[in-house]
Amino acid sequence: MIRVALAAAAVAALTQCAAPSAPPIEATPTPRTPPPAITSPPAGEPPRRESLPATVHPVTAAELGATWRPGCPLGPERLRRVDLDHLGFDAENHRGSLVVHEDLVAETIEIFAQLRAMDFPIERMQTADHYPGADDELSMRDNNTSAFNCRDIPGTGRWSEHAYGRAIDINPQLNPYIDARGGFQPANAGLYVDRDRIDPGLLHDGDPAVLAFTDRGWRWGGRWRSPIDYQHFERP
């Protein structure tokens, strides 16, 4: 019994003298590296995303929205939506859409591939139904490149070539419509009535971007005397 008591006392003494256990070590979180900032490449350098092939789609009256209504000179079955890439003003590739006459699909694809290859910038390219009532003025103010819109020629009562899907307007704010009295459309295009400007996206006679259309038989409104319609190309 004496030996057992002595052993128990020794264990107790050792326990009291032992160093207290160290507190648990908390894991230090690994710092998160922020994602790299997305920046646009300088103009003239190739975009980060390669251009995708154009695609062609039939359209319905519902898909055309406010750009079409009963009584228009052309039915939806004669139109096609062409989705294709274009160079934006940020030097990046963007996907856009144009609705054109079925007979002009191949030429439209060829022309815009040529514009892309020459790095001609287009700010925006969406169908006119993105604007309330497919309002052409709103689309032009937005510098939106577009094609089909069932509307007449202002002040004439005659159908525009846009109503047949046979006209395309390019960067309309930068390339305004100017009437015989010097009035212009869209309303925010005042700076660009001066055709001596050389801003990217402007069209001048003899420019490769103009020739991409006219060499294929399209007419350019920039060559008209009155009115002058710098944005407008139409295919007879």
Q: Residue ranges per domain, the chain?
A: 55-234
In the prediction, which pLDDT does 128 show?
97
Structure confidence at residue 51 (pLDDT): 82
Cβ(166)–Cβ(104) below 8 Å: yes
Amino acid at 6: L
What is the structure's pLDDT at 156?
82
As beta bridge partners, residue 95 has: 85
Phi, psi for residue 228 in degrees, rounded to 5: -105, 130
Q: How far apart are the first and last CA of the chain?
A: 121
pLDDT digits (tens, 9 = 90+) for 50-108: 789 999 999 999 999 999 999 999 999 999 999 999 999 999 999 999 999 999 999 99
Q: Under 8 Å CB-to-CB from 92, ≥6 apart: which residues?
A: 40, 41, 47, 48, 49
Low-confidence residues in the chain, pLDDT < 70? 1-49
Going from the C-alpha of 53 to that of each of 76, 91, 94, the distances in angstroms are: 24, 19, 12
The pLDDT score that the predictor gives to residue 136 is 97
pLDDT of residue 22: 38
Best CA proximity match to 161, nearest among 173, 149, 172, 171? 149
Residue-level pLDDT at 3? 39
71 DSSP 8-state letter: T
Position 50 scores a pLDDT of 78
